[in-house]
Amino acid sequence: MSAVLYLASASPRRRELLALLELPFELVLPDVEERRLPHEAAADYVRRLARDKALAGAALAPRPLPVLAGDTIVVVDGEVLEKPAHEADGLAMLRRLSGRRHQVMTAMALAHGGGCDGVLVTTEVSFRPLTEAEMARYWASGEPADKAGGYGIQGLGGRFVARIDGSYSAVVGLPLVETEALLRQAGVLSG
């Protein structure tokens, strides 16, 4: 079946989650700089990045189809944690999250018909306390390196999650319920 949508994402998780909505899509891979502006609120930042990715994807798309993109950040005490830059950064993030509650914000944006619609989903996640040895072993697994907040709930990091209040798929990178609604509103999905 020919594609009805582009996904502007290099994330294998977003690809797998979008496939669950059972509509044919193709990938575009825009290069968008991810840098928070001074005093930019976390929610504004994650929304802006999703929108920038969708619009940059639309500029690259070979056909005039809607373009979906997303961005995920972790927020603890109002501080934004993105992907860890190196081991010390990753371990510092895990220490911040240990035994605490944090928010995972995932914004999705859909560029279509010359405009861009979006949705922001915030999920509360609580970690049990982690030992230094556990954090070091977890970093060594390689899993944290490409993930916001330095963990993956869908992998070994799931062992740290004592409680989640909200959307599991949003934490992994693409909120299924809200993305389906966004696609339906835009007429990309029907029935």
Ligand X SMILES: Cc1cn([C@H]2C[C@H](O)[C@@H](COP(=O)(O)OP(=O)(O)OP(=O)(O)O)O2)c(=O)[nH]c1=O
- The two structure tokens encoding residue 84: 């860890």
CB nearer ligand X, residue 4 or residue 27: 27
3-state secondary structure of 80: strand
Q: Is 71 a catalytic residue?
A: yes
H-helix or E-strand spanning residue 16 = helix 12-19
Give the interface segment with ligand X, choosing from 36-44, 111-119, 128-136, 171-179 (CB under 6 A): 171-179
Given candidates 17, 65, 68, 71, which one binds ligand X under the rule CB under 6 A? Answer: 71
Yes or no: say if 171 and 125 are a contact pair by the CB < 8 Å rule: yes
- Residue 68 is a binding residue for ligand X (CB under 6 A): no
CB nearer ligand X, residue 83 or residue 112: 83
Given candidates 144, 152, 179, 183, which one binds ligand X under the rule CB under 6 A? Answer: 152
Q: Rounded to whole angstroms, what are the CA distances from 175 to 18, 123, 140?
A: 9, 10, 28
Query: Among 71, 117, 146, 165, which one carries the catalytic annotation?
Result: 71
- Residue 103 is a binding residue for ligand X (CB under 6 A): no
Given candidates 57, 66, 70, 90, which one binds ligand X under the rule CB under 6 A? Answer: 70
Q: Which residue, among 44, 38, 14, has the nearest Cα to 27 in the 3D structure? A: 14
Give the C-alpha separation, 26 to 19, whole Å: 11
Binding stretches for ligand X (CB under 6 A)? 9-11, 13-14, 53, 70-72, 74, 83, 104, 147-149, 151-154, 171-173
